[in-house]
Amino acid sequence: MSDFGLFDAVLAAGPVRDIVSDAGWLRAMLETEAALAQAGAEVGLFDAASAQAIVDAAVVENFDLAAIGAGAAGIGNPTGPLVRALTRQAEDAGKFVHYGATSQDIVDTAAMLLSREAFAALDDELTEVAESLANLAQEHRDTVVAGRSLGQHALPTSFGYVVAGWLEAIVEVQKALRETEFPAELGGAVGTLASVGSSGPALRSAFARILGLADPRIPWHTNRLPIAAVATAAGSVSGVASSIAGTLISLSQTEIGEVYEEGPAGSGGSSTMPHKRNPIAAVSSFAATTTVPALVGTLLTSMAHQHQRAVGQWHAEWRTLSELLRSTGSAVHWLAESLRRLHVDTGKMAENLAIVGGVLQAEQVTSALVPVLGRLGAHDAVTACCRKSIATGESLAEILAADPLLSQHLTTGQINQLLDPVGYLGSAQFFTDEVLANYRKARQ
């Protein structure tokens, strides 16, 4: 792995960083040129020995990335200087370098290679995330916690249910990543492959097959759906990570304390506050996710390619795509790390559950009364008791039992049973089991 930049360990962690680095792009562009040479020989445009010479020449070590980068200013993309350098490097075979292609063919195909590799890396890390979540969901299938809406305790649920919801989302995005298609791009200057005469379709099929990419019906120089597919799939991955990481951060707050990260020495501490236990992995994951949606938006805006080559929208894709994949990769990497570091404090969960007391199960009392008082009647009567309990600190059970109207319909025993959170998990465990069963079936 290459050296970390100043912010990379925080915002560009994990394997995707190197995949989409400038060196990664150069490697992918060379792989593309090599495959084009092989394909050209295969369809008879030139001899196999020349193709092999190009393949041999097209290795990263032979090229000066900075010089190629500097040379890109001339025609506005790095393919030009790369082709010139490769032509020199391939010596006699040089005249067959880049045969039939245009700059965009090379950059677009390289972008697909990088995206495929980045998606594979994302998928691997998500597999680890999923396994962590499956274990957590199983272990805490019956751990009662306060369900929270708008930051307020609402009804009890189980921690396993909460985690199962995350697991289901991870399974869904992995499916999306795996279904993404990566088409080769080859069309020449305006998409007609005119310079290779009638060999165009055969050349492109061979090229795509060699690279293991899909072979499209027509060049996609200005149909940017392949880029949009990568961007939106990554955006969905990032969105799922933002929800999980954000909730972990929230559960780690000093006052809530239901989970905490315990990383290697020096992690999550503060230079001046030795007592702090920052959920730094979750924070780093969340930070990366906040930068992704706008990058997806930029790539969707850039779909407005005109004619046979865009006037800037194409160029705008390169760094934006790299940054999008990098950030998504970092978000997923740090999420996996956060889950590795995660400790669950079931004692704190129980303690927090008790804060609101029976009031949290008030809905169950309301539901029990609906048949006799109607929804609104039951709601209003129970609400009044809850407000009294909150205001006075008196237990809700006692207030309900003392209520002249409600005590006609519920015994003290019934009230206590209705206010027991463990008995009010509804289908939480059922849903958890369904998600786990589906996950395990898919894993087989």
Considering the complex, what minimum distance in angstroms separates the CB of residue 265 from a second copy? 9
Q: Report the distance separating Cα 245 and Cα 239, nearest Å.
A: 10
**In the complex with a second copy, which residue's Cβ is closer, 60 or 411?**
60
Among left, alpha and beta (phi > 0; psi -120 to 50; other), residue 308 is alpha
- Terminal Cα-to-Cα distance of the chain (whole angstroms): 32
Contact 245, 336 (CB under 8 A): no
Strand ranges (E), 169-273: 259-261
Contact call for residue 349 and a second copy (CB under 8 A): no
The residue range among 47-55, 112-120, 127-135, 218-226 that interacts with a second copy, by the rule CB under 8 A, is 218-226
Active-site annotation holder among 2, 270, 407, 427: 270
In sequence order, the 6+-apart residues with CB closer than 8 A to the CB of 302 are 224, 227, 310, 313, 314, 316, 317, 320
**In the complex with a second copy, which residue's Cβ is closer, 277 or 409?**
277
Using the structure block, give the residue that is written with the tokens 């040379």.
71
Within positions 329 to 348, which residues make up the interface with a second copy, using CB under 8 A? none
Contact call for residue 293 and a second copy (CB under 8 A): yes
**In the complex with a second copy, which residue's Cβ is closer, 192 or 411?**
192
* Per-residue binder mask for a second copy (CB under 8 A), 394-423, x = binder: ------------------------------
**In the complex with a second copy, which residue's Cβ is closer, 376 or 444?**
376
Within positions 12 to 51, which residues make up the interface with a second copy, using CB under 8 A? 13, 22, 25-26
Q: Return the structure tokens found at 63.
A: 């090229």
The count of residues interacting with a second copy (CB under 8 A) is 190
Annotation marks residue 270 as catalytic: yes
Within positions 354 to 373, which residues make up the interface with a second copy, using CB under 8 A? 355-356, 359-360, 362-364, 366-367, 370-371
**In the complex with a second copy, which residue's Cβ is closer, 38 or 320?**
320
Query: 145 to each of 353, 355, 363, 425, 427, how far by Cα in Å?
Result: 6, 11, 16, 10, 14
Within positions 94 to 133, which residues make up the interface with a second copy, using CB under 8 A? 94-98, 102-103
The residue range among 51-59, 311-319, 402-410, 411-419 that interacts with a second copy, by the rule CB under 8 A, is 311-319
At how many degrees (to 10) do helices 65-75 and 22-42 cross? 70
By C-alpha distance, which of 221, 36, 17 is closest to 114?
Answer: 17
Contact 86, 99 (CB under 8 A): no
Contact call for residue 156 and a second copy (CB under 8 A): yes
Angle at Cα 11 formed by Cα 125 and Cα 3, nearest 5°? Answer: 90
Q: Report the distance separating Cα 258 and Cα 63, nearest Å.
A: 53
Exactly one of 18, 52, 131, 201 binds a second copy (CB under 8 A); that residue is 201
Exactly one of 49, 60, 152, 440 binds a second copy (CB under 8 A); that residue is 152
Considering the complex, what minimum distance in angstroms separates the CB of residue 130 from a second copy? 14
The residue range among 53-61, 111-119, 124-132, 238-246 that interacts with a second copy, by the rule CB under 8 A, is 238-246
By C-alpha distance, which of 190, 197, 196, 270 is closest to 222?
Answer: 190
Residue type, 187: G
Within positions 61 to 100, which residues make up the interface with a second copy, using CB under 8 A? 65-66, 68-80, 83-84, 87, 94-98
Query: 365 to each of 155, 174, 211, how far by Cα in Å?
Result: 12, 41, 64
The residue range among 114-122, 128-136, 224-232, 411-419 that interacts with a second copy, by the rule CB under 8 A, is 224-232
**In the complex with a second copy, which residue's Cβ is closer, 380 or 407?**
380
**CA dihedral (18, 20, 24, 28) positive or negative:** positive
Exactly one of 15, 56, 303, 414 binds a second copy (CB under 8 A); that residue is 303
Considering the complex, what minimum distance in angstroms separates the CB of residue 90 from a second copy? 10
Active-site annotation, residues: 270, 309
